[in-house]
Structure 1
Amino acid sequence: MPAYLTIVLVWSTTPLAISWSAETMTPVAALGLRMLLAAVVGWVMLYVLAIKISWERDAVRTYAFSQLGIVAAMLCVYSASQFIPSGLISVLFALAPLLSGVFAYFVLSENNFTPDRIAAFLVSFIGLCVICLDGVVVSGEGYKGVLFLLLGVSLYSFSGVKVQQIGFQGNPLATTVGSVVMSVPLFGFAW
């Protein structure tokens, strides 16, 4: 139960943190600093817990495909935050499980689309359409934010499926820190 509550807390507050940080500096700088901080904290945690980052072939491939979800997707999300409210970011990111299922169907040959899941998707999709057509997105430059966000969610979902396809079985904390450490130079380059 604590893990579930932590996930809900992180995912429900992340879009708000994105919006706030993007107000005080450029989105790329805010994101790069956030990842640098995460890399430092993660590295310290690995040191304290005596966990080593793996640099074997599958580990590096995992870190590399993670960059689609960390660097590319997050740059899209931070860019979207300039055009749409944080609540809409949360709602549209709810498409991630569906898109992951679609990518898993094509990349991993998994078919998780039962009639119940298809019905749930249709209801959710109609709800998302109602929210998006409520004037927030269609007015002004909101469509840019939606397009950035849809690209970001797609990259995030594809990244997760490709990481699953590689099947690297390393320590989860070390894998996450390795991926974040690898992303820091890319954010510096993007900045």
Structure 2
Amino acid sequence: MPSKTNIMMTYALLVFIWATTPLAIVWSVSDLHMMWALVLRFFIALPIAAVVLIILKIKFPVDKIALHSYVAGSFSLIGSQIFTYAATAYLSSGIIALMFGLAPIMAGLIGRFGFKQHLQTLQWAGMLVSVSGLAIICFNGSSTQHVHPVGIALMMMSVFTYALSIFWVKKVNADVEPMAQATGSILVSTIVAICLIPFIWQHVPTHIPNAKSLFALLYTVAMASLLAMFCYFKLVQNIKATTLSLTTVMTPVLAMFFGAVLNNEYPSLMVFVGASVLLFGLFLYFYRDFKLSRELNQKIKP
């Protein structure tokens, strides 16, 4: 069992990577077809992940339960990212990250209706407030280049698939090392990516991408597909699904900051208001968890 400090550092690293990944995705498709950027991401990530397994001498199980876990994990990779990459044509990196902030709510709904978990009244209230914030963003930001209802719908599908994957991996509960789990999920994602090629062949790259696009592609490989997935599956095995989903509450503000500073993505006033309402809804949703955690820490202190 990893130490509390180890888990906290892993958590912080994952927040940083996921805060910067939306911008990297947007940059990677600036000189590549969006689906080719996704396919190449997994083609490059798979051999690197395999080499890491060999160097670290990590066992890669291929029993029925492990294979099931790899499939479940792939839904948080290519299953979710197909929709995210498609949404880059409609949304800024900050809004994409903001949409992923809805993952805790989506996880809560899946837990309630799929696994009969109980939701408190304040959690339902937080959901309604967050959806209201999303509505403000959708209906008042559609006149700008940063927000479009189609992109919002695509990201809702992406967030649902991501949240579903968390519960699925935990339900399978395979005895697999985090790096092996990440590699297995990347392998399944790569197989799916190969199946996509006939549908996007007409957009095959005919030149080497520009420096920014190439750097962003490599960043999504090394950080988002490898390091982040290692952190992600390590946390999946050691903390609650709803607690893991809380990472996406922290990333939107950081992502919007990076988008503004590095990519000149300045949301309109109403988009900013909607984002604030959405984040306040998430605060309400997690208020009980915050309170319980604070009370527990006070009891632990001498």
Instruction: Give the TM-score taking structure 1 as reference length.
Output: 0.89
Equivalent residue number for residue 81 of structure 1:
88
Give the aligned CA root-mean-square deviation in angstroms.
2.1
Equivalent residue number for residue 168 of structure 1:
174
Q: Provide the rounded CA distance (Å) in 2 between the counterparts of 1:46 and 1:177.
A: 8
Question: Is residue 2:17 matched to residue 1:29?
Answer: no
Counterpart selection for 1:42 from 12, 37, 49: 49
Between 137-146 and 84-93, report the one with greater CA deviation: 137-146
Equivalent residue number for residue 19 of structure 1:
26
Deviation digits for residues 122-147 of structure 1, max 9, x if unmatched? 33333333233332478798221111
Shift of 1:21: 0.9
Alignment of 1:1-191 (within 5 A): 1-111=8-118, 113-136=119-142, 142-191=148-197
CA contact (8 A) 2:90 2:145 kept: no
Shift of 1:51: 0.3
Shift of 1:187: 0.7
SS at match of 1:52: coil
Shift of 1:186: 1.1
CA contact (8 A) 2:141 2:148 kept: no
Q: Provide closer, same or farther for how the CA distance between residues 61 and 165 of structure 1 changes in structure 2, counting only shifts above 3 A.
A: same
Give unmatched runs, 5+ long, in structure 2: 1-7, 198-302
CA contact (8 A) 2:79 2:161 kept: yes
Shift of 1:22: 1.3
Between 81-90 and 34-43, report the one with greater CA deviation: 34-43
Identity %: 28
State which structure, 1 or 2, has the greater radius of gyration over its C-alpha atoms: 2
Q: Provide the rounded CA distance (Å) in 1 between the counterparts of 2:147 and 2:129.
A: 27
Between 120-129 and 169-178, report the one with greater CA deviation: 120-129
CA contact (8 A) 1:96 1:154 kept: yes
Equivalent residue number for residue 233 of structure 2:
none
SS at match of 2:76: helix
Shift of 1:2: 2.7
Deviation digits for residues 1-50 of structure 1, max 9, x if unmatched? 43232112111111111111111111111111112222222212211111
Give unmatched runs, 5+ long, in structure 1: none
Q: Provide closer, same or farther for how the CA distance between residues 33 and 139 of structure 1 changes in structure 2, counting only shifts above 3 A.
A: closer
CA contact (8 A) 1:72 1:155 kept: yes
Between 78-87 and 31-40, report the one with greater CA deviation: 31-40
- Residue type matched to 2:89 in 1? Q
- Residue type matched to 1:63 in 2? Y
Residues matched between the structures, number: 190
CA contact (8 A) 1:66 1:159 kept: yes
CA contact (8 A) 2:95 2:147 kept: no
Q: Provide closer, same or farther for how the CA distance between residues 59 and 141 of structure 1 changes in structure 2, counting only shifts above 3 A.
A: same
Q: Provide closer, same or farther for how the CA distance between residues 42 and 114 of structure 1 changes in structure 2, counting only shifts above 3 A.
A: same
CA contact (8 A) 1:96 1:156 kept: yes
Q: Provide closer, same or farther for how the CA distance between residues 4 and 66 of structure 1 changes in structure 2, counting only shifts above 3 A.
A: closer
- Residue type matched to 1:132 in 2? C
CA contact (8 A) 1:36 1:184 kept: yes
Between 36-45 and 17-26, report the one with greater CA deviation: 36-45
CA contact (8 A) 1:62 1:163 kept: yes
